Chain A
């Protein structure tokens, strides 16, 4: 029982609280690389705090879908966070996490987000929803193929067993299967979290925006929830990436609360490294044309598929 409560607190509280930090780090890296001071790392927390207090403006064309969407999107992001453990040292009693479920529960949030974008009758919303529909459709096969390939080696599709299995693998990144899946998932993360080669989170130009176009009509508390949900989703994917391919829990010899604490600290360090990686990618690439994104998605799929082919030769 205590394990369960601990798991819930860590998975939800910790992830929700840490999620905006990742955005802050990435922004800071971008600013530093451009020789600017940039906003403080904690800026997103201030923004969220302010937005929560503000009055929302709701379009009079919109229906109940527009109003419930922020809550649904937020809830799906948190549910996804509960599926992907940040540390394998706490065994979840919550035995429902499955990579397929993870993908489809995020699809629930995305479905409503696209609907809400169409709900106001705004052209921007339609544009964002239509682009998001394309990108998500293209990226979905490679998420599932990569995760299921890892699952095949671990002989399970549930996230926790896969992660515990990965703790026993020595240096996954020199293993060809994992190397390929890692690269494929990196592209997936960039696409799923609306990062630069695919989408530009800091733009509000109709030619380029995807995710922001869908949020355009949101304001106040709803906007804050949507932003926070996006940040949580990003952290969930990063968690998946770092905990699968940079396992660390076996390094800690001890058990108990102290071990969990150390594990969480190492986890934060890994998230920092991942954020650094994403920041570097973002600084060094330009946003792709919308119709070049399929090539990126194809690359991601091919990486995961080659990873799967390597898995044969290795016998898991």
Chain B
């Protein structure tokens, strides 16, 4: 099983890289959907193994919820928002894409550097699953920093959340049920609120550029 989890963690990392290398808002959403599908798959694998080992089904339930919320509902919501605003392609960046991707690479190296000696909660030295998933968090954060449009911010936030969720999953192989559910509900609400915000920002400023929020200061 470890092999599959390792491979999936690396794929998660790659999906974060693909997201970073993208500038079309449509592909942001698709990439996020793909990443969530990977998360769901991962949860599924851990769920099946925990079911097989000690008959717990809570991880499997979480898997189903993840599919429902992250793979289907949130992307649907985002697509609806996306259809209504005029922006398709992100144009101005703080740094250009190749450099951002290289910085992401450094992030991964830095995560290795940081976690190489840390001991895990479960067994022995922490493995590269944690490193990969933690890199996803960092890349999500960097994504939020580098993108100016509101939808990019939402996607970045969701990627960070995916990273945190997976890190927790790898570290504990199944958090307490209630915690997971709480987090999932939280982001659902957050995304809905942010979706509404995007409409409002668009209405107010005629664009969804987050920089415009600066103007709200007195």
Contact = CB atoms under 8 A, between A and B. Distances in A.
A164 B60 CA distance: 40
Interface in B65-113: 97-98, 101-102, 104-105, 108-109, 112
A305 B104 CA distance: 12
Given A176-B128, A313-B127, A314-B128, A306 B10 contact: yes
Tell me the interface secondary structure of chain B in the complex.
helix
B131 A295 contact: no
Interface residues of B, number: 24
A176 B6 contact: yes
Nearest to B13: A306
Interface stretch (A80-88, A216-224, A256-264, A296-304): A296-304
B170 interface: no
B11 A179 contact: yes
A298 B101 contact: yes
Contacts of B4: 174
A242 to B, nearest CB: 19
Contacts of A299: 17-18, 21, 101
A130 interface: no
Contacts of A310: 6, 10, 128
B146 interface: no
B183 interface: no
B36 interface: no
A112 to B, nearest CB: 31
Interface of A: 171, 173-176, 179-180, 183, 294-295, 298-299, 302-303, 305-306, 309-310, 312-314
21 contacts: A175-B6, A175-B7, A176-B9, A179-B7, A180-B10, A183-B14, A294-B98, A298-B21, A298-B98, A298-B102, A299-B18, A302-B17, A302-B104, A302-B105, A306-B13, A306-B108, A309-B128, A310-B10, A312-B112, A313-B112, A313-B128
